[in-house]
């Protein structure tokens, strides 16, 4: 039986992983500059809904015609994932399903991560894949990795 740490959800839940990647990018920018932080571009533009809904709508309107993907943060194996190109396609999610105020207190709206969909992903044997590598890092010295020129 696998053992889990108290913070294993920081890597396994989509919203926490995105939050940590964004935090890393900001820290990298502060410590090493924008040029180095710009190299941290291995994940697409991402927002957590409902918390970042207004930021997402701004980005959505700046880039019409882009395909987006919505993923529930606490589900796995592709359940609840869908693609969309129009804001009206996510309106049912945004409306809270017409619940009353009492029901909203009892059952919270499910959080989602919304990302720009990668139109031409890398394929193996003609199929999409993901590669997850979990590593335990016990110590890091940034000044050895990135020079501060």
Which structural domain, as residue segments, surrounds residue 52?
A: 44-145
Identify the pLDDT of residue 39.
81
The helix (run of H) or strand (run of E) holding residue 16 is helix 14-32
Question: Domain count of the chain?
Answer: 1
Give a yes or no: residue 8 inside a domain.
no
Q: What percent of the chain has pLDDT over 70?
A: 74
Give a yes or no: residue 77 inside a domain.
yes
- Which pTM was predicted? 0.65
Q: What is the largest CA-CA distance in the chain?
A: 57
Q: What percent of the chain has pLDDT over 90?
A: 22
Give a yes or no: residue 17 inside a domain.
no
Instruction: Give the CATH number, domain containing residue 88.
Output: 3.30.1490.20
Give yes or no for a contact between 90 and 53, defined as CB atoms under 8 angstroms apart.
no
DSSP string, 47-103: EEETTTHHHHHHHHHHSTT--EEEEETT--TTTT-EEESSGGGGHHHHTGGG--HHH
Q: What pLDDT digit, counting tens, does each position of 76-88 carry?
A: 778 889 999 999 9
**What is the distance between the alpha carbons of residues 69 and 80, in angstroms, rounded to a whole number?**
11
Identify which has the larger pLDDT, 109 or 84: 84
pLDDT for residue 98 is more than 50: no
Give yes or no for a contact between 127 and 4, defined as CB atoms under 8 angstroms apart.
no
Q: What pLDDT digit, counting tens, does each position of 122-141 carry?
A: 899 988 887 777 778 888 76
Identify which has the larger pLDDT, 8 or 49: 49
């Amino acid at each position: 039986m696998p053992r889990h740490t108290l913070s294993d959800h920081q890597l396994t839940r989509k919203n926490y992983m995105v939050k940590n990647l964004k935090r890393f990018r900001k820290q990298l920018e502060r410590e090493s500059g924008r040029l180095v932080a710009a190299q941290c571009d291995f994940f697409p533009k991402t927002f957590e809904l409902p918390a970042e809904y207004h930021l997402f709508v701004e980005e959505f309107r700046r880039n019409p015609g882009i395909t987006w993907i919505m993923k529930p943060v606490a589900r796995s194996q592709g359940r609840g994932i869908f693609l969309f190109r129009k804001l009206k396609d996510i309106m049912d999610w945004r409306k809270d399903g017409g619940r009353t105020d009492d029901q909203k207190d009892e059952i919270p709206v499910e959080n989602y991560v919304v990302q720009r969909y990668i139109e031409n992903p890398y394929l193996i044997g003609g199929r999409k894949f993901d590669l997850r590598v979990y590593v335990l890092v016990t110590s890091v010295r940034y000044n050895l990795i990135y020079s501060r020129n």
